[in-house]
Structure 1
Amino acid sequence: MSKEKSQLKEVSDMAKNIWLAGLGAYGRAFDEAQERYEQASKETPRLFTELVEKGRNLESQARTAIDDVASKGKGTATSLEERISKVRANLGFGGVSSEDFERLEKKVDALAKKVNSLSAAPKKAPAKRAAASKAATAE
Structure 2
Amino acid sequence: MSKDSKKSLQDLKEVTNQASELAKSIWLAGLGAYGRAYDEAQDRYEKASKETPRLFTDLVDKGTRLETQAREKLGEVTSIGKTVSIEERISKMRSSLGFGHTASADDMQRLEKKLDALSKKVDALTKASKPAAAKAPATKATAAKTAAPKAKAPRKAPAKKAAAKAE
TM-score range, shorter chain: 0.5 to 0.7
Q: Distance in 2 between matches of 1:17 and 1:64?
A: 67
Structure 1 residue aligned with 2:17: 9
Structure 2 residue aligned with 1:123: 125
Structure 1 residue aligned with 2:62: 54
Quote how far apart the aligned CAs of 1:78 are.
2.9
Q: Give the structure-1-normalised TM-score.
A: 0.60
Could you tell me which runs of 5 or more consecutive residues in structure 2 were left unpaired when the two chains were aligned: 1-8, 102-110, 132-167
Quote how far apart the aligned CAs of 1:16 are.
0.6
Superposition misfits of 4+ residues, deviation over 6 angstroms: 118-122
Aligned length: 104
Quote the RMSD (CA, aligned, Å): 3.8
Asked which structure has the greater CA Rg, the reply is: 2
Could you tell me which runs of 5 or more consecutive residues in structure 1 were left unpaired when the two chains were aligned: 89-96, 102-107, 130-139
Quote how far apart the aligned CAs of 1:74 are.
1.5
Higher relative contact order (CA 8 A, sep 6+): 1
Q: Distance in 2 between matches of 1:63 and 1:72?
A: 14
Structure 1 residue aligned with 2:154: none
Structure 2 residue aligned with 1:22: 30
Quote how far apart the aligned CAs of 1:81 are.
2.0
The secondary structure found in structure 2 opposite 1:2 is helix
Letter in 2 for 1:41: S
